[in-house]
Amino acid sequence: MTTTTSSKIICDSVSPAGHRLTTFECVHPRIILAEVNTHKMLSKSSASSRAIPVEKMIARVLEDPYVPTHWGKNQKGMQAEQDVSPDAGKFAAIEWEAARDAAVEQAARLLKHGIHKQITNRLLEPFMFHTALVTGTEWSNFFNLRDNKDAHPDFRDLAHAMRELYANGNPRALDYGDWHTPLVSPSEAFDIVVTNESEFPDAVCKISIGRCARVSYDKQNEGEHPEKSIARTDMMLASGHMAPFEHVARPMTNLELAMFSQPKWRWVGNRWRWIGAEYHENGDSVVLPGDRTHFLGNLNGWVQYRKLIPHEEDILGARS
Q: What is the pLDDT of residues 224-277, one digit of tens each?
A: 888 899 999 999 999 999 999 999 999 999 999 989 988 777 776 677 766 555
- Judging by beta carbons within 10 Å of its beta carbon (0-12, 13-18, 19+), is residue 151 exposed, middle or buried? buried
Pick from 172, 201, 231: which residue ends a domain? Answer: 172
218, part of any domain? yes
Percent of the chain with pLDDT over 90: 68
Most confident of 19-23, 67-71, 213-217, 233-237: 19-23
pLDDT of residue 271: 74
pLDDT of residue 201: 78
Query: What's the first-to-final CA gap in the chain, in angstroms?
Result: 49
Pick from 159, 154, 160: which is nearest to 70 by CA?
154
> Do residues 159 and 11 share a domain?
yes
Pick from 196, 168, 161: which is nearest to 25 by CA?
161
Name the pTM for this structure: 0.89
19, part of any domain? yes
> Do residues 113 and 187 share a domain?
no
Strand 172-173 relative to strand 249-251, pairing: unpaired
Model confidence band, residue 49 (pLDDT cutoffs 50, 70, 90):
confident
66, part of any domain? yes
How far apart CA 124 and CA 99 sit, in angstroms, is 10
Pick from 172, 203, 232: which residue ends a domain? Answer: 172
1, part of any domain? no
pLDDT of 23 strictly over 90: yes
Please give the tally of structural domains in the chain.
3
Pick from 190, 181, 274, 194: which is nearest to 233 by CA?
181
Report how far apart, in Å, the C-alpha atoms of 317 and of each of 3, 95, 233 are. Answer: 41, 49, 19
**Residues of the domain holding 195:** 177-251+305-319
Model confidence band, residue 284 (pLDDT cutoffs 50, 70, 90):
low
CB-based contact 252:17 (threshold 8 Å): yes
Over residues 110-136, the mean pLDDT reads 95
CB-based contact 179:249 (threshold 8 Å): yes
Pick from 122, 145, 172: which residue ends a domain? Answer: 172
pLDDT of 189 strictly over 90: no
pLDDT of 93 strictly over 60: yes
CB-based contact 89:70 (threshold 8 Å): no
